[in-house]
Amino acid sequence: MRPGVLLLAALFAAPLVARSEVPCTCSADCVRDVRYGSVCVEGNCKPYEDAWSLLDWIGLAREEKGPPAPFVLLPAILPAIGYNPAMGALFGVTGTLGMYLGPLETTTISSLQGVALYSTMNQLTIQVSTVMMTARNEWELQGDWRFLLFNQKTYGLGTGPQAMSAPGMVEDFNLVRIHETVLRKVWGELYVGLGYRLDSYYGVEDRGMDLAGPAPVVGPGYAYNLAYGFNPAQGVVSGGTLAALYDSRDSTIDPYRGFYGSASFTVNPTWLGSSQPSTNMEAQFRTYLPLSDDVPRNVLGVWLYYRGVTSGAAPYLTLPSIGWDQKNRTGRGYVQGRWRGTQELYGEVEWRFRITSNGLLGGVVFANAGTFAAPAFQASGPGWSYASEKVGLLQFFRPAGGVGLRFMMNRDSRTNVALDFAIGESSFGIWFNAGEYF
Span 330-382, pLDDT tens digits: 999 999 999 999 999 999 999 999 999 999 999 999 999 999 999 999 999 99
Span 305-324, average pLDDT:
98
Looking at the DSSP bridge assignments, the partners of residue 9 are none
Residue 177 has pLDDT above 50, yes or no: yes
Secondary structure class of 356 (helix, strand, coil): coil
What value does the mean pLDDT take over residues 410-428? 93
pLDDT digits (tens, 9 = 90+) for 184-226: 999 999 999 999 999 999 999 999 899 988 889 999 999 999 9
Span 44-79, pLDDT tens digits: 999 999 999 999 888 888 877 778 999 999 998 888
Banded pLDDT at 11 (limits 50, 70, 90): very low
Please give the Cα distance from 128 to 116 (Å, whole number).
Answer: 9
| Rounded-to-integer distance, Cα 195 and Cα 243, Å | 8
Are 302 and 290 spatial neighbours (Cβ–Cβ below 8 Å)? Answer: no
Q: Read off the pLDDT band of 84 (50, 70, 90).
A: low
**DSSP H helices in 77-233:** 161-165, 220-227
- pTM greater than the 0.85 cutoff: yes
Domains detected in the chain: 1-47 (no CATH), 67-434 (2.40.160.50)
Over residues 264-293, the mean pLDDT reads 98
Mean pLDDT of 131-157: 96
Share of the chain above pLDDT 90, in %: 82
Neighbours of 82 (CB within 10 A): 16
Whether residue 151 contacts residue 173, with contact meaning beta carbons closer than 8 Å, is answered with yes
Instruction: Give the type of residue at 415.
Output: T
Looking at every residue in the chain, the average pLDDT score rounds to: 92
CA distance 397 to 158: 10
- Partners of residue 350 on adjacent β-strands: 301, 366
